[in-house]
Amino acid sequence: MTITLYHNPRCSKSRQTLALLEEQGIAPSIREYLIDVPNADELREILNMLGFSPRDLMRKKESEYKENNLGNVSLSDDDLIEAMINFPKLIERPIVINNGKAAIGRPPEAILEII
């Protein structure tokens, strides 16, 4: 069983989620998504596992969200996914993937439901 953590080491919640996994005896596969950006298919798969729309996975307080008018309700899901690829900082973090299920580590304990 491989658990994947979409991780931003500069994010305190992401670091706390990694620590929680390690406390559970789990050494996850770490994907630093700001460097190794997920593609559109990967994002769609994550969204499906989470039961989220693209907008649900976006960090709306980031400057890139405002500067690119991503709050515009006429934007399609494909438009929003493309924005997350172009500006991966917009992707909510951390994301834990395990056995076809996903959870956002906010709070970090939320990931315990899928491990």
Cα gap 17→37, rounded to integer Å:
20
* Active-site residue, selected from the candidate residues 1, 5, 8, 11: 11
Residue 36 bears catalytic tag? no
Residue 88: name the closest of 11, 1, 2, 3 by CA.
11
Determine contact, residues 98/7, Cβ cutoff 8 Å: no
Determine contact, residues 5/85, Cβ cutoff 8 Å: no
**Residues designated as active site:** 11
